[in-house]
Structure 1
Amino acid sequence: MTDPTALRPYRDAVSAAGALAVEINFLDHDLTLGGEVTALGLGALGAAGDVRHLRERLAPADQPRLDLLQRAGPCDVRLRLLGDDHEVRYVRLIGQGDGLHWRGLMLPAGGSAGGRADMDLETALADSLKSGDVCAYYQPVVDLKTKRLAGFEALARWDRPGVGVLGADEFMPLAQAHGYVEAVGESVRSMAVQDLSAWLAARNGPLDLFVTANATATEVSAPDFADRLLQAVQASGLPRGAFKLEVNETDVMVDPEAAERTLNAVRDQGVPIVLDDFGTGYSSLARLDRFAFDVVKLDQYFIRAALTDGSARSIISSVVRIAESYGMSVVAEGVESEAAQTLCLELGCDYGQGYHFAPALSPQDAARAVTQGMATRFGAAQMQERG
């Protein structure tokens, strides 16, 4: 543990700045200090930057530099600041040595309690990403003709210690605000690949089973995303086509050229591409020929509307016909009743997904569903026919 006197240069510097208060939390393993010190004015602090800018703001030129921020070890430090403009700010310092950088979050004036709660929650999420508590749960995808399990969609869940399992809508806004969306996606895809590999290995023959997992616009636009994904899939020993990558139609249009390069690269190596939430974003049916999609997932809005609206049924039929002409299969999302299941089959959808079959299952429950199905809902996954 670092000697508390390491804080002295910091105290000397911030006391000269003459602002109100700062709380320091050091979260890396080799330093566990905390406390209240006289603090600094950060009225002009922006949203992000390198640590050199931060040092300049924290200490006047005639004061000692912040040696604490130059220490050799990896740094993960959070500062909760009440500046001289009476606004609460949160700054996180990340990195090591010259690579140290910081991110800031503005919070409303008087928001000290909320700022601390946000800081604590972000800290808990960061710790859970490291410990594996951010994980994949699996919603079944059912073959509408055979009524057997065909695959799963891997969905992000946070099994937060002392709280329980949180759905994506409960923590993804936090992940978005603090730059953890990619880490969450990486964790979910990694677990999905590993779990599917284990389920297939546990059987005495090849299973006709797949798992899909999502990637965001930022991820599919990253130059190294395809390489990292393919490395994980290939290291697992999964057969071609067993893992499918889902992308939202709005996301692929954020940077369509980069998305097209990434999607073509992974598809060429045996990872089919699933277009999620079709009908909710920029796309029209004509866009289906630009990207090499293998599967189209109809947004749940159309499925619900089709039960009472002839126009929605016509849209679904049109999408099915065009998808078939491109060699794509169609998944109906939001299947929540026997009537919806029957209608989707009549309209030509290949697969169904929704609460009528099951919610997202824990990895343990999903493993049982692979071999046993779920009574009255769907049968177990089918063995592949030998050629």
Structure 2
Amino acid sequence: EYELVVGDVDRLRRLNEALGHERTDLVLSALASRLAAAFPQDASAARIGEDEFAIIVPKTAAHTSYRVREALEQPLRVAGFDIYPTVSIGALVVEGGPDAPDAAELLRRVELAVESAKAAGRGGSAAYGRALESDSLSRLALEADLRNAFVRGEIVPFFQPIVNLNTGAVAGFEALARWRHPRRGLVPPDEFLGLTADLGMMNELGLLMMTQSARQLAEWLERHPLAGRLFCSVNLSVGEIERPHLCEDVARVIKESGLPRGALKLEVTEGDIMRDTERAAEVLQSLKDVGASLALDDFGTGFSSLSYLARLPFDTLKIDRYFVLTMNKDEGSAKIVKSVVNLGRDLSLEVVAEGVENAELARLLLEAQCHYGQGFGYAPALPAQEAEVYLAESLADGSAPIKQRSA
């Protein structure tokens, strides 16, 4: 009897985007060396995929999963960067004998455990059991439903208000994808966005969101002329900035919807920029030329923002919600928020703070002279009809109320 344990390095794609293939390979090599050193000679370790390590140990070995995690999650420094890996772990106890499954079946089972661990969030662990087989069948059914969801129009944008902190008025919305499943109801994004990526449908989702959001924004502008320079932000998925015909699609969406220049705002992550900065600069400028405005999302969480920010045609910086949520409790977060706001002002960029959960955070952001805020303190992402009601009430009252909750 022995134990098969597989560790899947979380967010390797994000690491690859930030560091590049060569540096990421150094990270993986270091992890492999640590794993090999953590176990006795009667254990067998191997890299079995781009981001996966497997180890087989006698069942008499103690705390195998814990030791795998301890080996792989120690921080390391590569090319001047501090890396803090996390690992999702799946485990399987294997009994020998003539009826034992073959290697392919064993790997299939332990991969089910890994997927279960990943579903629980980064750094999770799970052991294989028969219940996972049922979960796997459910995932297959969900995959089939998701493919049909695009055809049936079940994927729709919800809209989270973005509020002008100086005036309190709604300045725009961020469009976020939601799935209205005919039997399960509203499927949470964390249950289908990863699946959409696994199916290779993120570009399709991005175009759908742009088209529907632009059309909806145009209708609101027509019905509510007092809304002025209302905008709508749409996220570009990882790698979408590199897809062929992106600029042509954006130009067509803006033309067909009749939106004014800058009303459709595209949010780009830092990882997308860093893969090929020169190529990204060309694409971003082309997107600006066809009438889109541009926001750099989750600013401050990457590795080398300042090295390229001044020469890329962004209009907006978005401060990651972590810094905003903790700015009233952590002096470091407060300084980062103020620094980003000051940087935005120096570069003539607007700044949006995500994660505004209460009136105190809104006050602190206003004192820091941040332009816009969004978060549950104002409203969650709303269906289009409710978002329009929220907009209309804001226009009637002159401001969008924030929940008076304690921090």
- Match of 1:208, SS state, is coil
Deviation at 1:109, TM superposition (A): 11
Aligned residue pairs total: 283
2: CA distance between counterparts of 1:159 and 1:283? 39
Match of 2:317 among 293, 296, 299: 296
2:294 is equivalent to residue 273 of structure 1: yes
- Tell me which residue corresponds to 1:259: 280
1: CA distance between counterparts of 2:316 and 2:242? 20
1: CA distance between counterparts of 2:148 and 2:181? 10
1: CA distance between counterparts of 2:224 and 2:331? 44
Match of 2:355 among 330, 334, 339: 334
Contact 1:134 1:157 in 2 (8 A): yes
Q: TM-score, normalised by structure 1?
A: 0.67
* TM-aligned CA distance change 1:306 to 1:199, over 3 Å: same
Match of 2:230 among 209, 212, 215: 209
What root-mean-square deviation, in Å, do the aligned CA atoms of Structure 1 and Structure 2 show? 2.7
Deviation at 1:83, TM superposition (A): 10
- Match of 1:212, SS state, is strand
* TM-aligned CA distance change 1:214 to 1:313, over 3 Å: same
Contact 1:306 1:313 in 2 (8 A): yes
- Tell me which residue corresponds to 1:146: 167
CA deviations over 1:270-306 (Å, ceiling 9, x no partner):
2110011111123333431131110000001111221
* TM-aligned CA distance change 1:168 to 1:138, over 3 Å: same
Greater helix share, structure number: 2
* TM-aligned CA distance change 1:378 to 1:361, over 3 Å: farther
Q: TM-score, normalised by structure 2?
A: 0.64
CA radius of gyration, larger in: 1
2:177 is equivalent to residue 156 of structure 1: yes
2:283 is equivalent to residue 233 of structure 1: no
Letter of the structure 2 residue corresponding to residue 144 of structure 1: L
- Tell me which residue corresponds to 1:7: none
- Tell me which residue corresponds to 1:305: 326
Deviation at 1:311, TM superposition (A): 2.5
- Tell me which residue corresponds to 2:374: 353
Unaligned runs of 5+ in 1: 1-45, 47-81, 90-107, 381-387
Unaligned runs of 5+ in 2: 1-48, 50-100, 110-127, 402-407
2: CA distance between counterparts of 1:282 and 1:118? 35
2: CA distance between counterparts of 1:109 and 1:184? 34
1: CA distance between counterparts of 2:363 and 2:252? 40
2: CA distance between counterparts of 1:285 and 1:151? 27
- Match of 1:136, SS state, is strand
2:197 is equivalent to residue 172 of structure 1: no
Contact 2:169 2:395 in 1 (8 A): no
Give the fraction of aligned pairs with identical amino acids, expressed as a percent: 36
Contact 1:217 1:252 in 2 (8 A): no
CA deviations over 1:62-91 (Å, ceiling 9, x no partner):
xxxxxxxxxxxxxxxxxxxx99954769xx
2: CA distance between counterparts of 1:344 and 1:249? 23
CA deviations over 1:141-199 (Å, ceiling 9, x no partner):
00001001000000011111111212321211111111121122221111110100111
CA deviations over 1:125-151 (Å, ceiling 9, x no partner):
111111111110000000001001000
2:323 is equivalent to residue 283 of structure 1: no
2: CA distance between counterparts of 1:211 and 1:231? 16
- Match of 2:317, SS state, is strand
CA deviations over 1:6-41 (Å, ceiling 9, x no partner):
xxxxxxxxxxxxxxxxxxxxxxxxxxxxxxxxxxxx
* TM-aligned CA distance change 1:350 to 1:164, over 3 Å: same
- Tell me which residue corresponds to 2:392: 371
- Match of 1:158, SS state, is strand
Letter of the structure 1 residue corresponding to residue 382 of structure 2: L
Deviation at 1:328, TM superposition (A): 0.3
2:268 is equivalent to residue 247 of structure 1: yes
Contact 1:250 1:283 in 2 (8 A): no
- Match of 1:283, SS state, is coil
Deviation at 1:248, TM superposition (A): 1.2
Contact 2:250 2:290 in 1 (8 A): no
Deviation at 1:376, TM superposition (A): 9.2
- Match of 2:369, SS state, is coil
Contact 1:303 1:334 in 2 (8 A): yes
1:49-60 equivalence runs, <5 A? none
Contact 1:139 1:359 in 2 (8 A): yes
Contact 2:267 2:296 in 1 (8 A): yes
- Match of 2:224, SS state, is coil
- Tell me which residue corresponds to 2:244: 223
